[in-house]
Amino acid sequence: MPEKLEPFVSVRDMHVTFGERRHRFEAVRGVSFDIFRGETFGLVGESGSGKTTIGRAILRIYPLSAGEVIFDGERISGKISSALDRRVTQRIQMIFQDPMASLNERAKVDYIVSEGLYNVARGISREERERRVADALSEVGLLPEFASRFPHEFSGGQRQRIGIARALIMEPEFIVADEPISALDVSIRAQVLNLMAALQKKRRLTYLFISHDLSVMRFICDRIAVIHLGRLVELSETEELFRHPLHPYTRALLSAIPQPSPDYARSGELIAYDPSVHDYRTDPPAWTELTPGHFVLGNQKECDAYRKEIEGSAKP
Amino acid sequence: MTDNHEQPVLQVEHLDIKFNLRGKVLHAIRDVSLELYEGETLAIVGESGSGKSVLTKAFMGLNDSNGWVDHGSILYQGHDLARYTTEKEWLTIRGREIAMVLQDPMTSLNPLKTIGAQIEEALRLHQGLRGAAARQRTVELLNDVGITEPDRRRRQYPHEFSGGMRQRVIIAIALACRPRILICDEPTTALDVTIQAQIIRLIYDLVHRLHLTAIYITHDLGVVANVADRVAVMYAGDIVEIGTSREVFYSPAHPYTWALLSSLPQLGKKGEELYTIRGTPPNLYHHITGDAFAPRNPNALKADFIERPPFFDITPTHKARTWLLDERAPDIRPPQVLSRIQSLGQ
Ligand SMILES: Nc1ncnc2c1ncn2[C@@H]1O[C@H](COP(=O)(O)OP(=O)(O)OP(=O)(O)O)[C@@H](O)[C@H]1O
Ligand SMILES: Nc1ncnc2c1ncn2[C@@H]1O[C@H](COP(=O)(O)OP(=O)(O)OP(=O)(O)O)[C@@H](O)[C@H]1O
Ligand SMILES: [Mg+2]
Ligand SMILES: [Mg+2]
């Protein structure tokens, strides 16, 4: 269980905008959440909802147009000192979605894995760098001699491990994992998930785990936030979310999970989300904590209905 | 549903497919036999590289030119497709009799032509439909695949459609020529869950409404449970188990099927390791002796390393290639965790 003291990462009213003037497009529209040290925080939503954008904005790849990101007590968004920038670059790392496309094909594994060190640890010797590469590779279950090979010589699961080694070599404390297993097949998925869990235990890592596969998230996430068109619509502890999904979009997502069991797979009804069910003209929605730790985006009337539902299902 | 008294629409017998790569020969499909029955949906599962695409592309003559059928037959309507060599022969099959829906909806559509023009092109090519007749059929097809306002939509370009809508268009094009067999190769891998669920339902409905026979390739076992009447499990270029969905999910018999199902995250417990299959699949450039899965099977028998197991019948619809089903075999049971599959989704 995560320690509920200080949030380790805090995203406050994050807005991210792309394009200029008439082409302005707000991909993230006022998102707030806290991640505690040692937990795995899930972010789920459909394609284009802004998941990757949030991850990249935390990593300072995209600037925020409003709001802020606090990391371990310090603001890291906007203008920051170069010393803090170096520290953040080392302490926060990202694992990318597609292991086939995200590695530089012309570079050897050795360079790919140690690239990040050139920015934050310029002074280190070649021997030291090689030792760290060997350590990082063996930590993810690859042989140190793989360092002299090229990415195309590896399978999908091995390539994803290389991507993880590249993040680990920086000795980060917080990792944004953007769909780290979506491109892998079932048997390799299990390997990568085990590896991430083992590293988390050993190094007390904190993860932001981005995915659209709720069945996998249920297995690894402590808490899950649901995002729709750049806004969070629900956030809660994982089991609570599966037991009492409140927002109609969350329900639609849950109804779409394909269960690997023929007798149940086809019996479930597919719920479509129709945003016009909300009547927000006179009573606009607010981010509301309905029960401790369970947040939902809803207006007064909706929240009253959600409360009734929770009370109803709590009775025996 | 499967009816074994029926004649199969497609019958594959002892098929071997090889590829030549810089002078070395890769044995991609190894002695596969398979029957496809009228009106059924057969799912093919197996890890990356197991031969799912190569096998089904052979039904349409779509494998790369460095590959060839080395042995065996593919019988369809009295013809042996394995003997087809010319494009002219294949054009009598491709699209008309057997059509394919591929993974990536963006690369399968021409970005410079309207959706309507692309469907009409298929109609002209395969059915000789032109003008008003082609337009009317296009609107019908778009309607069939659940695109609203088809008359307005047909005038739009692919970039104006979402990923899920583009995949619907690809399906409409595949259906344009009223094929008997529809092959879907990972049709939803690039889509997110809600859209994926809609496309799966769509394919399921179309198969039943239009009396199609479908082959559905995926490595997502959740999808398989949703769409398939029967499931074939492939490993290293061979079908190692085949049966109805219920048989394969609830009473799997081959150790590879056990391992595949055991590694489902849905069967995991938080804080515990997920089951993983150790090692890697065999190198298909080398000759394989015995059961190809034996080196990765913790309970492999001596016989597994010596001789390829034959298919043992478990029920009239379920069979598996494993020495475990031989009467002399020791009593090795599937992993305990698999009993939980029955209750998933409850
Ligand atoms: N660099 C960019 N320039 C302009 N628009 C962008 C850029 N990056 C993302 N967007 C837009 O922002 C929105 C959110 O995109 P984002 O990649 O964050 O979605 P996502 O939730 O990660 O989706 P997916 O599940 O498909 O990865 C989309 O509409 C996308 O087109
Ligand atoms: N043109 C080719 N030349 C050489 N080998 C090939 C060629 N096409 C396919 N193969 C090989 O045939 C084997 C089977 O490949 P296939 O594409 O059928 O796998 P698959 O089961 O569809 O995998 P995936 O799930 O990754 O799509 C693989 O070892 C592959 O490398
Ligand atoms: Mg993304
Ligand atoms: Mg394939």
How far does residue B52's CA lie from ligand 4's centre (Å)?
6
| Among A3, A46, A37, CA closest to A208 | A37
B44 versus A97: which is more confidently predicted? B44
How far from A237 is each of A29, A71, A180, B93, B94, CA to CA, in Å? 23, 22, 21, 53, 51
Burial (CB < 10 A; 0-12, 13-18, 19+), residue A311, is exposed
pLDDT at B3: 47
What the block records as the tokens of B331 is 């009593």
pLDDT, tens digit, 9 for 90 and up, residues B219-262: 888 889 988 999 999 999 999 999 999 999 999 999 999 999 99
Between CA B135 and CA B137 the distance in angstroms is 5
pLDDT at B104: 62
* DSSP-derived 3-state class of residue A94: strand
Per-chain mean pLDDT for chain A: 89
A29 touches ligand 1 (CB under 6 Å): no
Between CA B281 and CA B7 the distance in angstroms is 35
Give B-chain residues touching A97 at CB under 8 angstroms.
Answer: none
* DSSP-derived 3-state class of residue A303: helix
Q: pLDDT band for B2, please (50, 70, 90 cuts).
A: very low
Determine how many CB atoms are found less than 10 A away from the CB of residue A87. 17
Residues in chain A where the model's pLDDT stays below 50: 1, 3
Most ligand 1 atoms within 8 A of CB, residue of A49, A96, A214 to mutate: A49
How far from B121 is each of A208, B105, B114, B146, CA to CA, in Å? 47, 17, 11, 20
Residue B329, pLDDT > 90, answer yes
| Among B71, B74, B52, B50, CA closest to B61 | B74
Domain extents in chain A: 7-237
Name the CATH code of domain A7-237 (choices 3.90.1150.10, 3.90.950.10, 3.40.50.300, 3.40.109.40).
3.40.50.300
Are A67 and A15 in contact by the 8 Å Cβ rule? The answer is yes
Are B321 and B291 in contact by the 8 Å Cβ rule? The answer is yes
Query: A-B interface: how many C-beta pairs under 8 angstroms?
Result: 128
Q: pLDDT band for B201, please (50, 70, 90 cuts).
A: confident
Residues B197-213 have a mean pLDDT of: 87
Q: Any CB–CB contact under 8 A between B25 and chain A?
A: no
The third-level CATH classification (topology) of the domain covering B10-228 is Rossmann fold (3.40.50)
Domain extents in chain B: 10-228, 235-344
pLDDT, tens digit, 9 for 90 and up, residues B278-327: 888 888 999 999 999 999 999 999 999 999 999 999 999 999 999 999 99
Among A185-194, B42-51, B188-197, the range scoring the smallest mean pLDDT is B188-197
Residues at Cβ < 5 Å from ligand 3 ion: A 52
Q: For the range A20-27, what are the long-range contacts, defined as Cβ-Cβ under 8 Å and sequence gap of 24 or more?
A: A26/A65, A26/A230, A27/A53, A27/A230
pLDDT at B345: 63
Q: Which ligand is nearest to the CA of B19?
A: 2
How far does residue B103's CA lie from ligand 4's centre (Å)?
9
Q: pLDDT band for B165, please (50, 70, 90 cuts).
A: confident
pLDDT at B1: 46
| Secondary structure in 3-state letters for chain B | CCCCCCCEEEEEEEEEEEEEECCEEEEEEEEEEEEEECCCEEEEECCCCCCHHHHHHCCCCCCCCCEEEEEEEEEECCEEHHHCCCHHHHHCCECCCEEEECCCCCCCCCCCCCHHHHHHHHHHHHHCCCHHHHHHHHHHHHHHCCCCCHHHHCCCCHHHCCHHHHHHHHHHHHHCCCCCEEEEECCCCCCCHHHHHHHHHHHHHHHHHCCCEEEEECCCHHHHHHHCCEEEEEECCEEEEEEEHHHHHHCCCCHHHHHHHHCCHHHCCCCCCCCCCCCCCCCCCCCCCCCCCHHHCCCCCHHHHHCCCCCEEEECCEEECCHHHCCCCCCCCCCHHHHHHHHCCC
Give B-chain residues touching A187 at CB under 8 angstroms.
Answer: 47, 259-260, 263, 276-277
Are A207 and A192 in contact by the 8 Å Cβ rule? The answer is no
Does this model's pTM top 0.90? My answer is no
Between CA B309 and CA B236 the distance in angstroms is 14
Residue A143's contacts (CB-CB under 8 Å, 6 or more residues apart) are: A137
pLDDT at B4: 47
A53 touches ligand 1 (CB under 6 Å): yes
pLDDT at B102: 76
Most ligand 2 atoms within 8 A of CB, residue of B18, B19, B65 to mutate: B19
Are A144 and A137 in contact by the 8 Å Cβ rule? The answer is yes
How far from A150 is each of A98, A110, B294, CA to CA, in Å? 17, 9, 30
